[in-house]
Amino acid sequence: MPGTDCATNRLSSHGFMPNPDQLTNPETLPGTWLYGGLASHHFGHQMTRSLGRLQGLALAGTIDGIVFAPLDARARSDASQKLMARLFTGLGITAPLHQITATTRVERLLVGPDLFSEQTECVADPRYISWARTAFRPKTKPVPGSKLFVTRTQLDPALGRLLCEDVLEQNLAHAGYQVYAPEIHSLADQMDTYASAQTIITTDGSHGHVMAFARQPGQNIITIARRFEAPELLLNHLNCFGAGLEASSQTYLTCLTREWWPRKRADNLSLGEADFAVLFEELLRCGAVSPAAKASWKIPDQAQIDASKSRGMVGDDSLLSSDDRVAFLFDLRQARKQKAAKADRAEAAALSPPQPITKPPQEAQQTMDTKVDPELDVTDPAMRPQGLRYFRFLKALHQRVRPDWYLEIGTFTGSSLRFADCNFVAIDPAFQLHQIPPMKGREMVFFQDTSDAFFKSGAARRLKGKINLAFLDGLHHYEALLRDFTNIEPLMADGGMVVIHDCLPSTVAMTSRIQTPETEWAGDVWKTLMILLEERPDLQIDVLDAAPTGMVAIRKFDTAGNKKLKSRYKSLIKTWDPITMDTYPGGLSGFWDKLAVRPAGPFLDTLTQR
């Protein structure tokens, strides 16, 4: 299906364009078809990838059906196609579905805009919401006082889940909640059941997308986190379909204490360990349970937690803590890189004629021995940030600091702006913004140029307040970061914080000033950290182990110290320009030895919420 509006996935803006050589003898699909987008084997992905163009049904007139591009071979399986057919039937879409399995020329193909999908971060266009509320919404209305708990206890225990959810199920049943396992009911029954409940409690999962389409005025939906990383697509879907509904609310509760992981690469299989006592208090605060429910509220003991963790495990399987998983994934990546490098060397050797072997001079041999191979640049785990991942850290930081003004250098796609429910300034020379959720800031400034140009423009002086939180993640060159810091410091409010990214490299290859696809890149901004530690003892600098490349939190700013640092800029650059991680005293180990690295999670606990 050649054209300019082709299917895209969430990870890339590139269309799935066919090879021109394959267009010589295409199959023909007669008739008029509406293009539906991507087809997937996963129910949740079908909800977020295959429904966003269906508003075209309202304008298409008579069509022969809806055509999809399968994402992979799994999507083309009979089981996946039957699952997708049940989804569409349950939503009330009766048009025939067809998957393209070969290069195909469609006689007449209608292609509408993608108004709801992973490409839009599941923030639906108002036109789509208006159409879907008519096309999908069941006729059932909430029954006053009705309470529903949507459980995941009937799913395969090897899937991601909340530990001891069976105990939560019993607690809520005693509190008057109907327990409902959606996977044993038809989609039409799920839609009607969700629509008829006034209060719904659930842990996050794919069923939440069905719940979003069924949302009604007067409903209160409470989602309990089963993983530290918030399911942004699901929450965006629930929020945008709940917006404008009278007496409707959406609450997301995070009461987790730990997260456990199987020894697998997939990032959706974690087991969340919640504090049930805190969970009760949060549900009480939301009005979802009464004080009287506390008498029958059970808190799992360690034996129950251990038993829940063991469900779904086979043989010698074991679980990893979040910190251990960082090291596990790092080792997987390194093993994959080493395997690829070995294959590349073998292929090169097979293609190259044999060369005579000559022993290099001793001096040259020493140079060869110390050269860094980025594919094999594996470091001691002690020199690798293994704490809270930096996006989670940044989100939690926003929740703690609650800034009135936030400034960010290096916005790029805008993913980190999702956490900024405040006024903000976003600076990037080449924005590639994805659609992001609605924000609460009164003033939102996008400055598409370098940070140097922003500060020279005088735009900062026109802001109607001081900066409470700044995130510096721009060009990975130490001198640019040093200028950014000296320029932002005078704009910071009392009690404000500047956070710097990428200052804790775990390999020498990462510290190159030139980004390469062979390795993760931090640049040489580690030198900015060392300069600030040496030149500005007046600053409060906390070096944090946020994975994968660290965070540095800076507070207690000083005008005199800033002026002195600015005056020494040229001499500092002259001193530090020749220094690389290879020539730094002690190398990478010497750099880490000079730092007092703190755990990122406990650091957040020390902050006083504004």
Residue 185's pLDDT is what? Answer: 94
**178-180, strands of its sheet edge to edge:** 178-180, 143-150, 197-203, 220-224, 249-253
Residue 373's pLDDT is what? Answer: 42
At 68, is the pLDDT very low, low, confident or very high (cuts 50, 70, 90)? very high
Q: What is the mean pLDDT of residues 452-474?
A: 91
Whether residue 6 has pLDDT greater than 50: no
Share of residues in the chain with pLDDT > 90 (%): 63
CA torsion through residues 458, 459, 464, 468, sign: negative
Residue 344's pLDDT is what? Answer: 59
Higher pLDDT: 462 or 138? It is 462
Provide the CB-side half-sphere exposure for 374 (13 A, CA).
13
Range name among 436-450, 470-484, 548-562 with the lowest pLDDT average: 436-450
Taking only the tens place, the pLDDT of each residue in 243-295 is 989 989 999 999 999 999 998 877 788 999 999 999 999 999 999 999 999 99
Whether residue 505 has pLDDT greater than 70: yes
Residue 72 Cα distances to 80, 122, 159, angstroms: 11, 22, 22
**444-447, strands of its sheet edge to edge:** 444-447, 423-427, 405-409, 467-472, 492-501, 551-555, 540-544, 597-598
Q: 137-154: b or e for each residue (b if 16 or more CB lie within 10 Å)?
A: bbeeebeeebbbbbbbbe
Question: Measuring CA to CA, which residue among 256, 338, 327 is closest to residue 548?
Answer: 327
Taking only the tens place, the pLDDT of each residue in 284-339 is 999 999 999 999 999 999 999 999 999 988 777 889 888 788 778 777 777 776 77
At 434, is the pLDDT very low, low, confident or very high (cuts 50, 70, 90)? low
Q: What is the mean pLDDT of residues 604-609?
A: 77
Higher pLDDT: 53 or 418? It is 53
Task: Quote the CA–CA distance of 568 and 555 in Å, as a whole number.
Answer: 21
Task: Quote the CA–CA distance of 551 and 586 in Å, as a whole number.
Answer: 22
Query: Got the DSSP string for 469-483?
Result: EEEE---S-HHHHHH
Task: Quote the CA–CA distance of 155 and 138 in Å, as a whole number.
Answer: 25
Query: Got the DSSP string for 199-250?
Result: EEEEESSTHHHHHHHT--TT-EEEEE-SSSS--HHHHHHHHHHHTT-TT-EE
At 52, is the pLDDT very low, low, confident or very high (cuts 50, 70, 90)? very high
Mean pLDDT across the chain? 86
At 360, is the pLDDT very low, low, confident or very high (cuts 50, 70, 90)? very low
Taking only the tens place, the pLDDT of each residue in 171-217 is 999 999 999 999 999 999 999 999 999 999 999 999 999 999 999 99
Q: Which helix (H) or strand (E) holds 108?
A: strand 104-110
Q: Are 119 and 161 in contact (CB under 8 A)?
A: no
Residue 439's pLDDT is what? Answer: 67
At 442, is the pLDDT very low, low, confident or very high (cuts 50, 70, 90)? confident
Taking only the tens place, the pLDDT of each residue in 132-165 is 999 986 778 899 999 999 999 999 998 899 999 9
User: What secondary structure, in 3-state letters, does 388-417 show?
Assistant: CEHHHHHHHHHHHHCCCEEEEECCCCCHHH
Residue 117's pLDDT is what? Answer: 92
Taking only the tens place, the pLDDT of each residue in 86-118 is 999 999 999 999 999 888 999 999 999 999 998
At 59, is the pLDDT very low, low, confident or very high (cuts 50, 70, 90)? confident
Total-model pTM? 0.60
